[in-house]
Amino acid sequence: MSPTESALPDDGALLAVRGLRKAFGQQEVLKSIDLTVRRGEVVTLIGPSGSGKTTVLRSLNGLEIPDAGVVEFAGGLSVDFSAPVSKKQLAAVRDRSAMVFQHYNLFPHKTTLENVIEGPVQVQKKPKAQAVQEARELLARVGLADKENSYPFELSGGQQQRVGIVRALALRPQLLLFDEPTSALDPELVGDVLTVIKELADEGWTMVVVTHELAFAREVADEVIFMEGGVVVERGHPDTVLRDPREERTRQFVNRLLNPF
C-alpha cells in the first residue's frame, strides 16, 4: 500500500483497521469492523458476550487470523488478510502489541521473574542481566518486588494479573491489548488491577481494552466502542456512549450493566 492510499488517517494514528471480517464456520463473528487508535489513546470495547469484541482484540495480536480486512500500523506495516498471510507478516503484527489475558495465562512452571524475562531474553535476545533489571523495575512499580521468585500458584489472582501486565510491558510493545483483564478476579481484587492499567494510560501507553467495567471506561477511555453481533453499534467519547447514547441498543446494554436487577 503506498502512502497515499494508507488507511492511517493522520500522523497521530498508531493503528488502523479496515473491514475486518471473521467467521468461525457458519458463524460470522466480525462483519466489517473499522478501528483507529492514536498514539497514547485508550480505546475500550464493550458489548455483550458473543459480540465479537474479544475476536477484534485477538486479531490485532495474530491469535486469530481474520478472513478479510487490512491491519495497518504506523511505520509502514500493512497486512491485508484477504490474501494468505505469511508467518513473517503475522509475526510483524504480533510484535507491535502484547496481550493481557482474562485468565492471566502465566507460565506455571516459571517464577514471576522468569515469566517476565522470557520474551525479552528468548525472543528479543536482550542480555539477561538487562532484562532482569528492567523486569525488577516493572515488578516494583506494580508492587510485586518481593514476589519475583514466587510461582504463579503462590500468587493471588490480582497479583497474577499484575504479573501478566508486567510480562506484556517488558516487551515494550507499541500497543497493549487487554482482554477482560478483571473478569476472572474476585471483586475486591479488581481495583488493584484497574489502578495499574489507569496508571499506564496516564503514562501515555496506547491500549485497547475489552471490559465490562463501565466506571473504568468512563474514567480512562478516550473512545468507547459498543459492539453487538459482530458490528460496531456506536462509538464515541465515553460521556456520550455511556451516559447519553444515541442508539437504543447501547442504552439497553449500559443500563443492564449499571442496574443488573
Partner 1 sequence: MTVNWELVWSSLGPILMGAVTGTIPVALASFGLGLVLALLVALMRLSRNVVLSSIARVYISVIRGTPLLVQLFVIFYGLPSVGITISPWPSAIIAFSLNVGGYAAEVIRAAILSVPKGQWEAGHTIGMSRRQALVRIILPQAARVSVPPLSNTFISLIKDTSLASLILVTELFRQAQQVAAFSQEFMLLYLEAAVIYWVICLVLAGGQSALEKRLDRYVAH
Instruction: Assign 169 to helix, strand or coil.
Output: helix
Please identify, using beta-carbon distances, which residue of 151 and 198 lies nearer to partner 1.
Answer: 151
The answer to whether 63 contacts partner 1 (rule: CB under 8 A) is: yes
User: Smallest distance, Å, CB 247 to partner 1?
Assistant: 33
Under rule CB under 8 A, which residues in 104-133 are in contact with partner 1? 105-110, 118-119, 122-124
Please identify, using beta-carbon distances, which residue of 62 and 245 lies nearer to partner 1.
Answer: 62
Bridge partners for 224 per DSSP? 44, 236
The C-alpha cell that represents 136 in the structure block: 525488577
By rule CB under 8 A, what count of residues binds partner 1? 29
Sort residue 29 into left (φ over 0), alpha (ψ -120 to 50) or beta: alpha
Under rule CB under 8 A, which residues in 68-97 are in contact with partner 1? 87, 91, 94-95
In the list 15, 168, 194, 241, the residue contacting partner 1 (rule: CB under 8 A) is 168
Sign (positive/negative) of CA torsion 133, 137, 142, 143?
A: positive
3-state SS track over 105-148? CCCCCCCHHHHHHHHHHHHCCCCHHHHHHHHHHHHHHCCCHHHC
Binding mask 22-61 for partner 1 (x = CB under 8 A): ---------------------------------------x
- Stretch of residues binding partner 1 (CB under 8 A), selected from 11-19, 28-36, 165-173, 218-226: 165-173
DSSP 22: E
Under rule CB under 8 A, which residues in 169-208 are in contact with partner 1? 171
Which residues contact residue 66 at a Cβ distance below 8 angstroms, ignoring those fewer than 6 apart?
Answer: 20, 21, 22, 30, 59, 81
Binding region for partner 1 (CB under 8 A) = 61-63, 87, 91, 94-95, 98-99, 101, 103, 105-110, 118-119, 122-124, 151-154, 167-168, 171
